[in-house]
Amino acid sequence: MLSRILVANRGEIALRIIRACREMGIASVAVYSEADRNAPYLRLADEAICIGPADCNQSYLNIPRIISAAEITNVDAIHPGYGFLAENANFAEICSDCGIGFIGPPVEAMKLLGDKVEARKIAKKVKVPIVPGSEGVVPNEAEAMKLANQIGYPIIIKAVAGGGGRGMRVVHNDISLRAAFNAARTEAEAAFGEGAVYIEKLIVEPRHVEVQVMADQEGNVVHFFERDCSIQRRHQKMIEESPCPVIEDRDRQKLADCAIRVIKEAKYVNAATVEFLLDKDNKFYFIEVNTRIQVEHPVTEMVTGHDLIKWQIRIASGQPMKLRQKSIKHQGVAIECRINAEDPANNFSPSPGTITRFIAPGGNGVRVDTHVHQGWTVTPNYDSLIAKLIVHQKTRAEAIATMRRALQEFVIEPIKTTIPACLEILSHNLFVKGKVDTGFVERNL
Amino acid sequence: MLSRILVANRGEIALRIIRACREMGIASVAVYSEADRNAPYLRLADEAICIGPADCNQSYLNIPRIISAAEITNVDAIHPGYGFLAENANFAEICSDCGIGFIGPPVEAMKLLGDKVEARKIAKKVKVPIVPGSEGVVPNEAEAMKLANQIGYPIIIKAVAGGGGRGMRVVHNDISLRAAFNAARTEAEAAFGEGAVYIEKLIVEPRHVEVQVMADQEGNVVHFFERDCSIQRRHQKMIEESPCPVIEDRDRQKLADCAIRVIKEAKYVNAATVEFLLDKDNKFYFIEVNTRIQVEHPVTEMVTGHDLIKWQIRIASGQPMKLRQKSIKHQGVAIECRINAEDPANNFSPSPGTITRFIAPGGNGVRVDTHVHQGWTVTPNYDSLIAKLIVHQKTRAEAIATMRRALQEFVIEPIKTTIPACLEILSHNLFVKGKVDTGFVERNL
Amino acid sequence: MAEKDADIQKIKELIRIMKENDLVEIDIQHGDDRVALRRAQPQQTTAFGPIMTAVPGAGSPILMSQGQAAAQIPTAAKNEGLLEIKSPIVGTFYETPSPDSDPYVEPGTRVDSQTVVCIIEAMKVMNEIKAEVSGTIVERTVKNGQAVEYGQVLFKVRPD
Amino acid sequence: MAEKDADIQKIKELIRIMKENDLVEIDIQHGDDRVALRRAQPQQTTAFGPIMTAVPGAGSPILMSQGQAAAQIPTAAKNEGLLEIKSPIVGTFYETPSPDSDPYVEPGTRVDSQTVVCIIEAMKVMNEIKAEVSGTIVERTVKNGQAVEYGQVLFKVRPD
């Protein structure tokens, strides 16, 4: 087993990983920027090292500093969390060169699945349904036009290196395609340093459903069922739940099988999330693989009783999973709300500041993952996520009731948070009925 | 279903009941003394009524004021929580006379099982093993002496109306019996207004194991498995867990069957806990029934997934349980630590004061039930319980690891709490091995 | 932050109060409501009367229901120097001995400590409530038939 | 952080208020809103100088490991007026260019901004660290071969 792990992240996910290490008897090393110097979670790590100023580029994204910190503290491995360097193949490669374990996939698998065009090819190869679209990069407008007319409008233009909605354009006809194609390339170039784009058919009002998968170094692959993350605002997930409330067990099984086939074909190891779109007829289409642990992983932990971070660490230690698929049970319903320091009344603009009053919800069926507390200052330097509120109950109706009462008792003052927005969604008739899609928030909030 | 419930209690259990009401869509009315005026949980109730000054006798124990509050707020029923009026048959009777539901047992069953001598008789009748001892009240010293020699020393003298260790004496020979008998009577008289005592054989180094039972108005009785509450200090429980780590499934089944037989015989309705002593040979002996929900009920909620407060409310509403015994599964291991405002370094003396720093633990497998927050003032007026920390994991070793890390991250300053004492116990070799009895804390802490 | 300006304003106001009243210390906390004032030590000059009689917010607003709580705060200031008759029990307030009678007291009525000012019904028992203070009724602060909690203000009285 | 400037502004304002109003103490807390003011006792009579000179705790202690954190606090006072050379990177500190060489600098060595004072090894690369200040080395605060974090103080320098 690994005996000493550096956590190359901050905030709630750093705390999440430190907690797992403590429970496993593994020493942990936290790194922090000067902005996070007083974070109380740092004292829960066995060591804490300042790696730079507040600016991420000089701290949490700075590979030499993180590697140096790993070297001077003699860790066996680095856990990158999510965001920052978690999907940076260059970082994973440097770890490997320096003889430091990377708690995540092998470099090759990360590169392969990180390239959306390659990922589509793999899915196609193992007969996993993909959204109709280009075979790969669409080199120019003329090709785009030809293809669009072949698969039929509406279509969507996406950056090969993309994420978070940047370099993305929805196009409904030839005229708008002309304007959008080059705009998407330029935006992708600016955002990712790589302008290549591809084209897919636009699935109208889809749900976002993803399968949690875990693979060990011996090629054992299991899934931990799916999460429904259709409640998004500008491609940022706000609320996630498991199971997906609209699919039947047979389709659930098919979905999971498809996810496992992709992961096996990519010779992937460690935690991955295979993302699909689900159309109005409950037909699903593979879209991409996230090669890291995700923000919403606690939803899966609640319904399966498995600690995914601990599995990541065991697998990175070289342990075989010894976990049979049929021993993984899905029980009840879990929902997560992301509590961000954003003002829903003001177009979700960031709301930094010092929290002078903080009362977290608790009681039966409630889990809170947060690094903040009364007296914490939310700085504008980082992601606005300040807490994840997760509930687990026997039924979806009960889970919604518990989430509502937990949101109602959550006090965070004076900064603005997404609590009222989450409450509004949880109370919405269509959400309660499970009749939502990825456009729900934009249409209804 | 009941539509409006008054919560005749304070602190964490009041909040616990208010939470259940909120989740069930039932209106709740909180009552509070002037000392609790600023408690944030009051705002979670639909109404909050001041019923008197800090002194319990003029507020939480004052029956006319609570009944008046129930009348002016038009509630259907009162939930008494634990402590205060929860086992006061007179209060239950007055509720009934006033046409207000009492969320607890019928008056007759409460009276019957509240009398320890009668409870023993019932157990004996339904062939549940009881500790060898007097048939009932022992009227005088001479009778006591005769009986003691018959069952053999050591024996224990207990108050019929007793609880919490008052009016209790352990006696090892004729000489000490002479002194102890009248002392116990006097103490019982002073504490409970009733001097009657009975005698039992002393079980040496026993474990305290109790079965959670629930009965509906139609005579359906189910159990929710057992809790082991051997970690006690001066008869006050400190740490509880489920399952009991030393009994086999066959004995577990027997224990539960015995508990159910007692409850059925007493024509009991609603939640009850049937308490047993387990000797070194794992033979168990019935001792008493607690006719209310208990502090440690969350342990059972975690391992069974059932919300016991909601079941209490449904049953009090007259709903049949529709719950088959075999559908109630026991999964994993749960442990609860009671966090009291007491100073372990100073003989657990109360440590009131204002909490200026409060960071609750969270994350996977952790539940916190607390009414306090940063800024809360612990007054010396009431019970010192300020939080219950509950963990749930797949195995006992993992549950202990999670509890340890949760205790380590729990910050409550500047008042002293039982956190260090709980940590010491959780780290003790004998506790880790499950080799404890009710004398463990006195011997080892 | 706007809060900081508010602080400055508040401090200026407090200083004025301190000077006018020869206080040497003011200590206010909102979380769990603390107010602490300290006047000059005795050796400082001579005596004056207890200026700060009605300390605002000494008793926090009674939380009857969420809506009402806020409504009861502002009355403090204009009623400086008035005494309050509070309910010693929980129950239903009646201003008259029986439905057809005149009220026990009305604004303007002189009361002394033994004067019965109302009835509060609790558990079917009619409890006569005495004024406990002497003075003139200025205001009745609850309605006939209204539910009242422990400590709720029933009447305001101008002392003699 | 911009917030600190705002704090300074606020403190200046508060000091002015204190002076003008003969206050000897102001205590403000935001977490749970505390305000505490104290005026001079009469016998204390006249003016005193600016009380608020050294603002303690401007930089919190560096948390290297639980044990070391506390140890680094007390040095501040006795070293008043000294400059600090801090590590701009994370790595291992070496006082000499090679194992057999003399140290780059020692207490008493004069340095200017371009003087190399040590090497920090990070990812197998030896990084020469320059003084960035002028003056005389007073103290080396880390050991040869020690791991240092970003911002950790390496030397103290008495400015010219």
> Is B374 within 8 Å of chain D by CB?
yes
How many residue contacts between B and C have a Cβ separation below 8 Å? Answer: 66
pLDDT of residue B193: 87
CA distance C11 to B385: 38
Taking only the tens of pLDDT, chain A with its 445 residues reads: 999 999 999 999 999 999 999 999 999 999 999 999 999 999 999 999 999 999 999 999 999 999 999 999 999 999 999 999 999 999 999 999 999 999 999 999 999 999 988 999 999 999 999 999 988 899 999 999 999 999 989 999 988 887 667 778 999 999 999 989 999 999 888 888 888 999 989 999 999 999 999 999 999 999 999 999 999 999 899 999 999 999 999 999 999 999 999 999 999 999 999 999 999 999 999 999 999 999 999 999 999 999 999 999 999 999 999 999 999 999 999 999 999 999 999 999 999 999 999 999 999 999 999 999 999 999 999 999 999 999 999 999 999 999 999 999 999 999 999 999 999 999 999 999 999 999 999 999 8
Residue entry with tokens 């923000």: A295
Token pair of B127 as six digits? 């062939």
To the nearest whole angstrom, how far is the Cα of D103 from the nearest Cα of chain B?
A: 44
Q: Which of residues 114-143 of D touch A (CB under 8 A)?
A: 122-123
Contact between B298 and B336 (Cβ < 8 Å): yes
Residues of A whose CB is below 8 A from B359? 40, 373
pLDDT of residue D67: 32
Give the number of other CB atoms < 10 A from CB of residue A3.
14
> Is D45 within 8 Å of chain C by CB?
no
> Is C2 within 8 Å of chain A by CB?
no
Q: Tell me how many degrees the CA angle B283-B284-B287 measures, rounded to the nearest 5.
A: 155
Nearest Cα residue to A434 out of A245, A284, A208, A241 = A245
Contact D90 A374 (CB under 8 A): no
- The pLDDT of residue D12 is above 70: no
Residue range D73-127, pLDDT digits in tens: 334 445 678 999 999 999 999 999 998 999 999 999 999 999 999 999 998 889 9
Residues of B whose CB is below 8 A from C92? 71-72
- The pLDDT of residue B313 is above 50: yes
pLDDT band at D17 (very low <50, low <70, confident <90, very high): low
Upstream peptide bond of B243 is cis (omega within 30 degrees of 0): yes
Q: How far apart are the first and last CA of chain B?
A: 47
- Cite the DSSP H helix spans in chain D: 2-21, 66-71, 75-78
Contact between B416 and B342 (Cβ < 8 Å): yes
A297: enclosing H helix or E strand: helix A297-304
Which stretches of chain C drop beneath a pLDDT of 50? 1-3, 32-34, 40-77
Token pair of B19 as six digits? 């939470």
Residue B13, φ and ψ in degrees, nearest 5: -75, -30
pLDDT of residue C107: 96
Q: Which residue of A has its CA nearest to C2?
A: A414
- The pLDDT of residue D62 is above 50: no
pLDDT of residue C78: 55
Residues of C whose CB is below 8 A from D37? 11, 14-15, 18, 25-26
Mean per-residue pLDDT, D49-74? 31
pLDDT of residue B136: 82
Residue range B140-151, pLDDT digits in tens: 999 999 999 999
Q: Which residue of A has its CA nearest to D122?
A: A68
Residue range A224-237, pLDDT digits in tens: 999 999 999 998 99
Token pair of C105 as six digits? 């007291």
Mean per-residue pLDDT, B324-348? 97
> Is C20 within 8 Å of chain A by CB?
no
Residues of D whose CB is below 8 A from B411? none
To the nearest whole angstrom, how far is the Cα of B20 from the nearest Cα of chain A?
A: 9
Contact A364 B44 (CB under 8 A): no
**What is this model's ipTM?**
0.77
pLDDT of residue C18: 62
Contact C150 B71 (CB under 8 A): no
- DSSP three-state, residue D149: coil
CA distance A110 to A85: 12
Contact between B304 and B330 (Cβ < 8 Å): yes
Contact between B425 and B338 (Cβ < 8 Å): no
Maximum pairwise Cα distance, chain D: 69
Residues of D whose CB is below 8 A from C28? 33-36
- The pLDDT of residue D61 is above 50: no
> Is C11 within 8 Å of chain D by CB?
yes
Residue range D26-56, pLDDT digits in tens: 666 655 555 666 665 433 323 332 222 222 3
> Is C3 within 8 Å of chain A by CB?
yes
Look at B186 and B301; give whichever has higher pLDDT.
B301
Torsion of CA C126, C127, C128, C132, to 10 degrees: -160
CA distance B304 to B327: 10
Nearest Cα residue to A52 out of C114, D89, B327 = D89
Known catalytic membership, residue B314: no
Contact between A238 and A231 (Cβ < 8 Å): yes
Give the number of other CB atoms < 10 A from CB of residue B37.
19
Contact between B214 and B423 (Cβ < 8 Å): no
- DSSP three-state, residue D95: coil
The residues facing B236 across adjacent strands are: B233
> Is C1 within 8 Å of chain A by CB?
yes
Torsion of CA B332, B333, B339, B340, to 10 degrees: 130
To the nearest whole angstrom, how far is the Cα of A369 from the nearest Cα of chain B?
A: 5
Contact between C66 and B43 (Cβ < 8 Å): yes
B412: enclosing H helix or E strand: strand B411-413
Residue range A69-124, pLDDT digits in tens: 999 999 999 999 999 999 999 999 999 999 999 999 999 999 999 998 899 999 99
Token pair of B251 as six digits? 């004995």
> Is D82 within 8 Å of chain A by CB?
no
Contact B65 C63 (CB under 8 A): no
Residues of B whose CB is below 8 A from A359? 40, 373
Contact D122 A65 (CB under 8 A): yes
CB-count burial class (<10 Å; 0-12, 13-18, 19+) for B302: buried
Catalytic entry in A169, A207, A261, A292: A292
Q: Let me know how many helices (H) and strands (E) chain C has, helices first.
A: 3, 10
C9, C18, C22, best to mutate vs chain D, most D CBs in 10 Å: C18
The residues facing A308 across adjacent strands are: none
Q: Which amino acid is at B139?
A: P
- The pLDDT of residue B382 is above 60: yes
D27, D29, D32, D34, best to mutate vs chain B, most B CBs in 10 Å: D32
pLDDT of residue B124: 96
Token pair of A134 as six digits? 């280009």
Average the pLDDT over each of A386-400, B92-106, B319-333, D55-69 and give the range with the smallest value.
D55-69
pLDDT of residue D13: 63
Segment of C30-34, D11-15, D58-62 carrying the highest mean pLDDT:
D11-15
Q: Which amino acid is at A118?
A: E
Contact A353 C1 (CB under 8 A): yes
> Is C125 within 8 Å of chain D by CB?
no
> Is B356 within 8 Å of chain C by CB?
no
CA distance A146 to A362: 56
Tell me the torsion sign for CA atoms A197, A200, A203, A204: positive
To the nearest whole angstrom, how far is the Cα of B84 from the nearest Cα of chain D?
A: 31
Residues of D whose CB is below 8 A from A73? 147
Residues of C whose CB is below 8 A from D21? 15, 19
Catalytic entry in B10, B16, B292, B367: B292
> Is A353 within 8 Å of chain C by CB?
yes
Contact C31 A353 (CB under 8 A): no
pLDDT of residue D133: 95
- DSSP three-state, residue B176: helix
Identity of the residue in C14, C30, C41 whose CB atom sits nearest the CB atom of D32: C30
